[in-house]
Amino acid sequence: MKFKNILFVLFLIFLSSCLNENEVNNIIISSDDYMRFDTRKITVKSKKLVKITLNHTGVLDAKVMGHNFVLLKKNVDVMDFANRAAFASENEYIPIDSDEVIVYTEMIGGGQVTSIEFMPPEIGVYDFICSFPGHYAMMRGKFIVE
Ligand SMILES: [Cu+2]
């Protein structure tokens, strides 16, 4: 291949990676040993892939201070869902056979990172929580698709 052609190909690769970057809603959430997410509001553009990266900046094990990101469908009763989720330790703290969840990450402990990609649901406001027992009271927020 001629040098000029190589340059052109490199340019195309560069261009497509720039475009891809704009097509993704890149969301980074931090959580800690004090049962907190660092955000209570996430806003994404509709019809664009969402990438959620969840960090756990603490040191405690997932068994005592586990965190996940659970996006609930509209009109789900958060308290009712979380109370059932608390008994689903064998299923990543998601009630078995639940149809209330749009998407969720694995449960992580201190020092761990996890991520998930999905297409956002229709325009609207949704709840997100951590479904580790008792955490939803503090670890919850709104996920807005606009
Ligand atoms: Cu948690």
- Predicted pLDDT of residue 17: 60
Beta bridge partners of 111: none
Over residues 65-104, the pLDDT tens digits come to 999 999 999 999 999 999 999 999 999 999 999 999 999 9
Answer yes or no: is 84 within a domain.
Answer: yes
* Averaged pLDDT, 38-67: 98
Output the domain CATH number for residue 50: 2.60.40.420
Whether 9 is covered by a domain: the verdict is no
Half-sphere exposure of 97 (CA within 13 A, CB side): 0
Å from CA of 81 to ligand 1 middle: 15
Residue 11 lies in a domain: no
| Full domain range(s) for residue 141 | 24-145
Assess if residue 79 is contained within a domain.
yes
Residue 6 lies in a domain: no
- The yes-or-no verdict on residue 12 having pLDDT over 70 is no
Provide φ and ψ at 131, rounded to 5°: -95, 10
pLDDT in tens, 94-145: 999 999 999 999 999 999 999 999 999 999 999 999 999 999 999 999 999 9
In a domain, 90, yes or no: yes
Which range among 10-19, 48-57, 133-142 shows the weakest confidence by mean pLDDT? 10-19
Quick check: is 1 in a domain?
Answer: no
Ligand 1 centroid – CA 55 distance (Å)? 11
Residues contacting 94, CB < 8 A, separation 6+: 70, 85, 88, 101, 104, 131
Q: Is the dihedral of CA 74, 79, 83, 86 positive or negative?
A: positive
Distance from residue 66's CA to the centre of ligand 1 (Å): 5
CA distance linking residue 28 with residue 48, whole number of Å: 16
Tell me, what's the pLDDT at 4? 74
| Distance from the alpha carbon of residue 138 to the mean position of ligand 1, in angstroms | 9
Report the Cα 46 to chain-centroid distance in Å: 15
Domain assignment of residue 72, yes or no: yes
> What does the DSSP assignment read for 68-83?
--EEEPTT--HHHHHH
pLDDT at 14 over 80: no
Q: How far is CA 10 from CA 3, 15, 21, 53, in A?
A: 11, 9, 17, 29
- Asked if 74 and 120 touch (Cβ cutoff 8 Å), the reply is no
At 71, list the tokens: 């996006």
Number of domain units in the chain? 1
Q: Is 80 exceeded by the pLDDT of residue 44?
A: yes
